Amino acid sequence: MWSAGAVTSFLEMKIAFTGKGGSGKSTLAALFVGYLRATGRRVLAVDADVNVHLAPLLGVVADSAAALSHPDNVTAVRRHLLGTNPLVGGVDRFVATTPAGPGSGLVTLESGDPVLARHAVALDERTHVMHVGTYEPEDIGAGCYHGHLSILENLLSHLRPADGDWVVCDMVAGTDAFANSLHAQFDAIVVVVEPTPESVTVACRYRELAAAAGVADLVTLVGNKVVDDVDVDYLRRELGAEPFAVLRAQAGLRRARQAGDCPRPADLDDPAPLRRIAERVRPMPAERRAAQLRALHLKVAEQERARSQLGPA
C-alpha cells in the first residue's frame, strides 16, 4: 500500500512543472498534487498550459468562462489585487510584473479567500484548482498566450501562502516561461525529460536560459517514461548530469489513464520520486526574489515607456 510519508519543509512553496510537450509534465504535476494532498498540505494547483491538461487530470472541467484569462475575470482579480494601493494608478494600469505594494489585496490559500472562492474549484477545503485558459475562437490571428499569462504573474506576485502551503503550477511546454517573469516566481522548477533527443534538447535549452536568468539552482531534472537502464544512461549522457529522480514507465498509471481515471500516486509502482522532489524544494530568499522581480519590472516598464512614446501604430 502506498504511503505518503512526510514533507520535511514547512514553509510555503511554489513549484512549477515544465518540459517538452508530451514529456508527462502535466501528469507528474497531477501526481505531485495528489502526493501533497495525501500529506495533509494545503494546495493551490494552477493549470497554466495552453493545452489545459492539469485541470482535467485533477477532475476539474476547464470552462472558458472560469479561466483566469477571461477578460471579466482579469478585471475582477486585478480589482482585488489593487486594493487601496495608490502606486498602481488603477486596474487598467496593471502590467504583468506589477508588484504588491501598500494597501494591495493579497491572496491566500484559505478556503474563504475571495479570489479562490470566485475563480477556483475546490476539490476539498484544502485543495483548489485554477486554470489560466487557452486560445478561444476570437483570439485567432490576434491572440498571444503570453498575454493570457500576465494575470497569473499578477496573482503569484500578490500570493501570500501560509507556512506549509504549496502552489503547484503546470507551465507551458518548452522555454516560454522566460518570455515573462514566471521563471522568477517559483522556489523550484521541475523540468520533466523523457529519453528522446527532442525532450533532452528542450531540457538543455531550459537549463541554459535558467543560468542566464540567474535561476539555474532552481531547476531540477526528472527523467520520465524510462523503460530500462539504457534509457537512464542515455539521459545521464545527453544531459551531462544525473537526473535528480527517474520515473519508470508505469503500466498501472497507463491503465488508469486509459480508463479515464485521474492519476493517483497509488498508481505508481514507486512513488518515492514524489517525496524526493518535495524534500528538495527550498524557499527562495525573499530578498533575492524581490530583486529579480524588481529588475524584470523595470525592464517591462521601460518597454511600456518606449511603446507609449512611439504612439499608436
Helix (H) or strand (E) run with residue 74 in it: helix 71-82
Spell out the long-range contacts of 118-121 with Cβ–Cβ below 8 A and sequence spacing 24 or more.
Answer: 118/76, 119/66, 119/68, 119/73, 119/76, 119/77, 120/44, 121/55, 121/60, 121/66
13-301 CATH choice from 3.10.105.10, 3.30.200.20, 3.20.20.105, 3.40.50.300: 3.40.50.300
pLDDT at 1: 31
Q: What's the pLDDT at 311?
A: 57
Q: pTM score, two decimals?
A: 0.90
Per-residue model confidence as pLDDT tens digits over 132-159: 998 555 655 555 555 789 999 999 999 9
Provide the grid cell at 262: 485521474
The DSSP element (H or E) to which 169 belongs, if any, is strand 166-170
Residue 3 has a pLDDT of 41
CA 93 to chain centre: 25
Closest by CA position to 128, among listed 38, 58, 52:
58
Domain boundary assignment for the chain: 13-301
Q: Point out the residues of the chain with pLDDT beneath 50.
A: 1-10, 313
Structural contact between residues 193 and 221, judged by C-beta atoms closer than 8 angstroms: yes
At a CB cut-off of 8 Å and minimum separation 6, what does 243 contact? 193, 221, 222, 223, 232, 235, 236
Sign of CA dihedral 118, 12, 88, 136: negative
